[in-house]
Amino acid sequence: MAIAPQESAVKTGRVTRFVLYTVLIVFALFYLLPLFIMVINSLKPLGEITGGNMMALPQVWTWEPWAKAWSSAQVGVEPTGLKPYFWNSIKMVVPAVVISTMAGALNGYVLTKWRFRGDTIIFGLMLFSCFIPFQIVLIPMARILGLLGLSGSTTGLVLVHVVYGIGFSTLYFRNYYAAFPSELVRAAQIDGAGFFQIFWRILLPSSGPIIVVCVIWQFTNIWNDFLFGASFASGDGAPMTVALNNLVQSSTGVKEYNVHFAGAIMAALPTLVVYIVAGRYFVRGLMAGSVKG
């Protein structure tokens, strides 16, 4: 899905161009506004927010809200800060992304190069599972995690995210491998290469871009998940998003807005960094998830 500029046939005059740029810049400011507010207010002492202007730059620059959000804010029972929850999220995201991506790659390979009767139906069922409202699985999932002894644990969340992540990763790899020349696969088969050899030697080496797309998509989705985290791991095993929400919604004591903002940036930073580094692939993933084919 290339979005490269092309020679447009539409001609525009000078006044029109001025309007164009003004509108585009105003919208850019609108999109940047919340980020701007989060950043500047996370670097202010609390008094400057409650007694001052939210849009003003800090008069006294301080890292203290960041330090507090990270290591001493009251999130759960203990004043641990967000640090342990950040690591919970990392421990949840890394295995879940790796497993769901590998499974998706193999599934996509089978569904395009080893087709069998009914494969489209299986793919269709997988595809639908990407879009179900997850409320429909919360009750049985809570029960199963309880039976497996995984309630409240990071392992439980890994399981959940792998299971519901496979649909999308399969979609990515299937669409990508569908465009891969089947003649190469057939030729390798005639030469006596087996299932895994073909995958390993022929498809995988050219799968770089789609692996990046899939990893970024899964990473962003799983990191940002709130519903599963809140349902199955709301205590010490909670992921970052749940912890942030607990921090912001806690009704005890003074509302420390600057600490909330610092915490919000911490929760946003991993996906934001990925977006800045590999935004192109992120957009490709979004598009592949919507405009298939």
Partner 1 sequence: MAQPQTAPDARTRLQTLIPKLVLSPSVAAMVVFVYGFILFTVYVSFTDSRILPFVDAKGARSYDLIGLSNYAKLFKLSHWEIAITNLAVFATLYILICCAIGLLLAIFLDQKIRGEGLLRPIYLYPMALSFIVTGTAWKWFLDPGIGLENTMHLWGWTSFSFDWIKNRDYALYCLVIAAVWQSSGFVMAMFLAGLRGIDNEILKAAQMDGASNWQLYRRIIIPQLRPAFLSAFVILSHLAIKSYDLVIALTGGGPGRATELPATFMYSYTFSRNQMGIGAASAVIMLMTVAAIIVPYLYAELREKR
Residue in 67, 90, 98, 137 binding partner 1, rule: CB under 8 A: 137
For residue 223, which of 68, 82, 92 has the smallest C-alpha distance?
92
Which of 52, 76, 84, 152 forms a contact with partner 1 (CB under 8 A)? 52
Helix (H, G, I), strand (E, B) or coil at 40: helix
Token pair listed for 94: 């890394």
Q: Per CB under 8 A, does 190 bind partner 1?
A: no
Q: Which of 18, 47, 50, 209 binds partner 1 (CB under 8 A)?
A: 50
Does position 18 interact with partner 1 (CB under 8 A)? The reply is no
Under rule CB under 8 A, residue 107 binds partner 1: yes
Residue 165 near partner 1 by CB under 8 A:
no
57 near partner 1, judged by CB under 8 A:
no
Amino acid at 3: I
Does residue number 187 form part of the binding site for partner 1 (CB under 8 A)? no
In total, the chain counts a number of residues equal to 293
Burial 258-291 (b: 16+ CB within 10 A, else e): bbbbbbbbbbbebbeebbeebeebbebbeebbee
Q: Does 26 bind partner 1 (CB under 8 A)?
A: no
Decide if 75 contacts 247 (C-beta within 8 A): yes
DSSP codes, 211-260: HHHHHHHHHHHHHH--HHHHHH--STT--HHHHHHHHHH--SS---HHHH
| The binder of partner 1 chosen from 154, 207, 218, 220 (CB under 8 A) | 220
Q: Is 112 in the site for partner 1 (CB under 8 A)?
A: no
Residue 15 as a binder of partner 1 (CB under 8 A): the answer is no
62-81: which residues touch partner 1 (CB under 8 A)?
Answer: none
User: In the complex, what is the shortest distance from the CB of residue 221 to partner 1, in angstroms, rounded to a whole number?
Assistant: 10
In whole angstroms, the minimum distance from the beta carbon of 1 to partner 1 comes to 5
